[in-house]
Amino acid sequence: MVVIIVRDVLVIRNPDYEAVVRASFARQRFMATLGARLTHVAPGEVHIALERREDLTQQHGFVHAGVLGAILGSACGYAALSLMPPGADVLSIEYKLNLLAPARGEHFVARGRVVRAGRTVTACRAEAFTGEGTTPIATLLASMMTL
């Protein structure tokens, strides 16, 4: 077991952060196409759940890495947006995805967290787990921009 403690002051600039995140997520048509659902919205942390479907698979029947990248990237983007000031929007600068194990199983969750919220750039990290949540299957490190 590895315990990583990152101590940082999380400043909430927008008391309506949850409504802002949920409204933006609802406008991401691609999330609905994937069947992805927003399951947790907290300051600096957002979770997105997904069920395996045949039409989301790669050549071996596992969920496609691109699907994992999409929900991990969105989880990061919304974790970043949750700490931005009112009226701000979030833009992905870049992300890096490491695939750790085949995406076996039926239920997946992507957990995105802010690593450091800067004025212009926010660094975020996300992990994808199978529903049981024991072993990560993918991890993502991203830079998001405040617009």
- In the bound state with its own copies, the residue whose beta carbon lies nearer, of 5 and 15, is 5
Task: Work out the widest C-alpha separation in the chain, in whole angstroms.
Answer: 44
Q: Which residues pair with 50 in a beta bridge?
A: 108
Determine if 45 is a binding residue for its own copies (CB under 8 A).
yes
Could you say which of 38, 46, 56, 103 contacts its own copies (CB under 8 A)? 56
End-to-end CA distance of the chain: give it in Å, rounded. Answer: 38
Q: How far is the CB of 18 from its own copies (least distance, A)?
A: 16
Residue of 36, 18, 40 whose CA lies nearest to 28: 36
Token digits of residue 33: 């196409």
SS3 77: helix
Which positions touch its own copies (CB under 8 A)?
Answer: 1-8, 24-25, 27-30, 32-33, 44-45, 54-59, 64-67, 69-71, 73-74, 89, 91-101, 113, 115-116, 118, 120-121, 123, 125, 127, 134-136, 139, 141, 143, 145
